[in-house]
Amino acid sequence: MSEQIDLSSKNILITGGSMGLGYAAAEACLQANGRVVICARNQSELDAAVNRLKAEGYQNIVGIPADVTKQNEVELALNQVESQFGPLNAVIHAAGIYGPIGTITDVNPQEWFKAIEINLFGTFLVLRQSCLYLKKNGGGRIALFSGGGAASPFPNYTGYACSKIGVVRLTETTAIEMTPHNIEINCIAPGFVITRLHQQTLAAGKLAGDQFLETTKAQIEKGGVPASVGGSSAAFLISDQAKGITGKFVAAPYDGWKDWPEHLEELKSTDIFTLRRIIPKERGMDWQ
């Protein structure tokens, strides 16, 4: 797909927008002429992000503090989009945490549950409230961020992994529910993006597991996957260029998503780019 992403008709909410993937998504949406409200919990970080984006020459950017686990604050953020720019058209949800690091017998149960609350319940709230707005507005597009542990086991990060695989199934299921309302929903694995989350891995040391600890150090040294890769894929998935793509799990660095509009029939008629149970016959075995 050679055409540039065009979001000039879109009023967009981006959660977790003060840094990392959320900030990269905001930048990508503004570059595509979208009108953007970002939210995050920390007011000073939010203000700094808005000021940086304005310094880059973008004017259609507003920040509002919001905790995605609180329904009233999600509502305030969505209302801000509509009061500032007009009817909501699209949402990118990037807020999330790692949670506790260690084996299941090492981690604190309340910290583990907090990861589920922020990463999965927070996603549910943002998705639910966004769908209510988009239904009244005649439809729209939503991109959620999944991540490590959603597509394969992620030992010593069970809270994060379980919450992120929940995001994938939430995406697939809600996409079906919202089809009659012209709402399309996808989720993204952004790859190994270097964010402050990885400082938690370094601080955890052996609790993170030797292999992932060394992988993290190596990725930090190399620079990892640029946040702009995930940010650009999110901007694409909320654009009209992605119309017809829904219920899919996108690995942003690897899946060639820019070319997906050329394969809409295959995307719609098969279970590619989804998570499914593997049965013996799919691996050449004849005992079932």
Confidence of residue 88 (pLDDT cuts 50, 70, 90): very high
Nearest to 194 by CA among 213, 221, 214: 221
Beta strands, E only, the chain: 11-15, 35-40, 61-65, 90-93, 140-145, 183-189, 249-251
Task: Give pLDDT tens digits for 92-114.
Answer: 999 999 999 999 999 999 999 99
Cβ contact 126:133 at 8 Å? no
Q: What are phi and psi of 65, to 5 degrees?
A: -70, 135
Cβ contact 124:96 at 8 Å? no
Q: Where are the domains of the chain?
A: 11-252
Question: pTM for the whole thing?
Answer: 0.96
Task: Give pLDDT tens digits for 209-227.
Answer: 999 999 999 999 999 999 9
Task: Give pLDDT tens digits for 33-44.
Answer: 999 999 999 999
Task: Give pLDDT tens digits for 119-154.
Answer: 999 999 999 999 999 999 999 999 999 987 888 999
Q: What one-letter code names the amino acid at 11?
A: N
User: What percent of the chain clears pLDDT 90, i.e. is strictly above it?
Assistant: 92
Q: Work out whether strand 249-251 and strand 11-15 pair parallel, antiparallel, or are unpaired.
A: unpaired
Which pLDDT belongs to residue 2? 45
Alpha-carbon gap, residue 3 to 243, rounded angstroms: 14
Q: In what order do the strands lie in the sheet with 249-251?
A: 61-65, 35-40, 11-15, 90-93, 140-145, 183-189, 249-251
Residue the block writes with tokens 């650009």: 232
Q: Is residue 152 within a helix (H) or strand (E), and if so which, with residue range? A: none
What's the CATH fold of domain 11-252? Rossmann fold (3.40.50)
Task: Give pLDDT tens digits for 152-165.
Answer: 999 999 999 999 99
Confidence of residue 1 (pLDDT cuts 50, 70, 90): very low
Task: Give pLDDT tens digits for 186-207.
Answer: 999 999 998 888 888 999 999 9
